[in-house]
Amino acid sequence: MSYTTAQARERILRELGLAASQIGLALDYLSEAYEQVDANLADQLEETLFAPVQAAYARARRTATEFVSRHALAERDGSLPAAPSRPHGPAALIEAASHAVERADQWIGELQDSMLPVEVGDEALRAGLADTRSLLSALPTRARELVRILGR
């Protein structure tokens, strides 16, 4: 499908907003899991998952905000509808956070693969997307390791 520049920018902004919302959801789940584990595990959760997810969220939001500013767009709320049921227990919350991160990574990857960021000629956008994905890439593996520790 061929897009006008304006349509391409709107799609980029919408999809980046959706990915950022998924990362925000992961933060929410991890915050709740943090409250449910002992101090040692809480420290490990914060270091291995929460801090990198928080950095990815900040990078995705900054990328979107700067993109809006550079192209004089109206910022969009990329929030998703509320999840129908909330996971219970720290292991389920960490797994749900991992799935949210994987969805965000997939959406950003599909956006990169679409070549729309190249077509709109925005190097800073491409760099921001790549940075966000690099922050997310190791998180599912780290989440699985932490869930294994919880299972002991």
CA atoms lying within 13 Å on the CB side of residue 125: 24
Tell me whether residue 130 is exposed, middle or buried, using C-beta atoms within 10 angstroms of its C-beta: 0 to 12, 13 to 18, 19 or more: middle
Tell me whether residue 35 is exposed, middle or buried, using C-beta atoms within 10 angstroms of its C-beta: 0 to 12, 13 to 18, 19 or more: exposed
Rounded to 10 deg, the angle between the 90-113 and 5-35 helix axes is: 160
Task: Give φ, ψ of 5 to 5 degrees.
Answer: -60, -40
CA separation for the pair 46, 24 (Å, rounded): 15
| pLDDT digits 0-9 by tens, 61-103 | 999 999 999 887 776 655 555 555 788 999 999 999 999 999 9
Average pLDDT across the chain, whole number: 91
- Determine the pLDDT at residue 144: 95
Q: Does residue 38 carry a pLDDT above 60?
A: yes
Backbone φ/ψ region at 119: left (φ over 0), alpha (ψ -120 to 50), beta: alpha
Inter-residue contact 146 to 44 (CB < 8 Å): yes
Question: Which tokens hold the place of 10?
Answer: 């709107």
- Determine the pLDDT at residue 81: 56
CA separation for the pair 13, 61 (Å, rounded): 10
Q: Does residue 34 carry a pLDDT above 60?
A: yes
- Determine the pLDDT at residue 2: 75
| pLDDT digits 0-9 by tens, 98-131 | 999 999 999 999 999 998 898 888 899 999 999 9
Domains and CATH numbers, the chain: 5-150 (1.20.1260.10)
Cβ-based neighbours of 86, under 8 Å, separated by 6 or more: none
Mean pLDDT (whole number) for 48-57: 97
CA separation for the pair 97, 30 (Å, rounded): 6
